[in-house]
Amino acid sequence: MNLKIHIKRVVFLALILILGFLIWKKFFKEELILNLEYPFQVELVWDGYRYQTFSNSTNVENFLKEKAIKTYSKDLIIPGLKESIAPYSIVNITSNRKISIEVDGEVKEVNTLRRTLSKALRDENIKLNPFDEIEPELSSLTRDELEVEITRIEKKNVIEKEEIEHETIIEEDKKVKWKKVEVKQEGADGLKEVEYELVYSNGELISKTKLSSKIVKEPQPKIIVEGKKIEIATTQRGRASWYAFTGEMKCASVLYPRGTWLRVTNKENGKQIIVQVNDYGPDPGTGKVIDLDKVAFAKLANVWQGVIEVKIEEIES
């Protein structure tokens, strides 16, 4: 008995709900009708540039055809081609660009949707060092067939050890026989540390600039003692002339062999010079005993004199 009453109640409530829905649908539901006025305004954003236009199309694909806008499969279009558009819709187009990047010894062909070169390089995980050179500039806008060249510039400082060449000092000693040479002190090279800045372009050294230098070991000069003591071996007197030959303090003699040192005195004015024999002369029959190089003769007398009376002394050496 109780079950029958329960079923009747459920049926009664169901009828009431159905009846209420039919009454609401008939008297209270409002139908929404969208009436579009054509053409309507659409905003186009193409590679960052904004354009205001009007369209009769109902989706993006037809809108692009209507405006004769040619796109490619790798271009980014938002909303998608099949998406609907309505008044004041915004259609975004980002063009795909094919660029070539020469870096690290190879050329990469890259497709990018980025508007600036810096972002395109970042997408390709190409990192630039502080001194790298790039052509065109990072701020440049990308375009199809753009050629990018990156030159790797590396700078580093190095310290190199370099020898300091010792100098040779010649000291004269009048107590040592003429032209006798003695080594008073052996020389030794020094050492310095030099800091350089090295600049490499794509791994090739292009410049080396000295920055600083520090001496770590002073060089030791070589000291040579050269004898200046004059001891006369033989003496000769006669006439001397001049000739242009070596342009040095040299002379020609028939009595003394090459390499002999001679002290020559002008008997008229007492002026003296020391010369070394390096030639044979004068010719026999000239009445002269020595030919002085022009520069040597000029220290004893005016060259216009041509011939002078001299005393010749052989220096022991």
Query: Can you tell me the distance from the alpha carbon of 120 to that of 150, in angstroms, rounded to the nearest whole number?
Result: 13
Encoding tokens for residue 208? 């080396």
The whole-number pLDDT of residue 185 equals 95
Encoding tokens for residue 209? 């600039």
Which residues on neighbouring strands pair with residue 191, listed in sequence order?
A: 163, 217
Taking only the tens place, the pLDDT of each residue in 5-64 is: 666 666 666 667 777 666 655 555 444 445 668 899 999 999 889 999 999 999 999 999
Q: Which of helix, strand or coil describes residue 99?
A: strand
Query: Which of 271, 272, 269, 264 shows the shortest CA–CA distance to 289?
Result: 264
Neighbours of 162 (CB within 10 A): 12
Q: Which of helix, strand or coil describes residue 299?
A: coil
Collect the ranges in the chain with pLDDT lower than 50: 1, 29-33
- Beta strand pairing call for 250-253 and 222-229: unpaired
Query: Can you tell me the distance from the alpha carbon of 288 to that of 282, in angstroms, rounded to the nearest whole number?
Result: 6
The answer, yes or no, to whether the previous bond of 87 is cis (omega within 30 of 0) is: no
Q: Using the 8-state DSSP alphabet, how is residue 198 labeled?
A: E
- As a whole number, the mean pLDDT across the chain is 91
Query: Can you tell me the distance from the alpha carbon of 126 to that of 112, in angstroms, rounded to the nearest whole number?
Result: 13
The whole-number pLDDT of residue 7 equals 66
What are the structural domains, with CATH classification, of the chain?
40-94 (3.10.20.90), 99-151 (no CATH), 156-226 (2.20.230.10), 231-315 (2.40.40.10)
The whole-number pLDDT of residue 133 equals 96
pTM for this prediction: 0.57
Query: Which of 297, 229, 305, 217 shows the shortest CA–CA distance to 264?
Result: 297
Sign of CA dihedral 184, 188, 192, 196: positive
In the block, tokens 């209270």 appear at 28
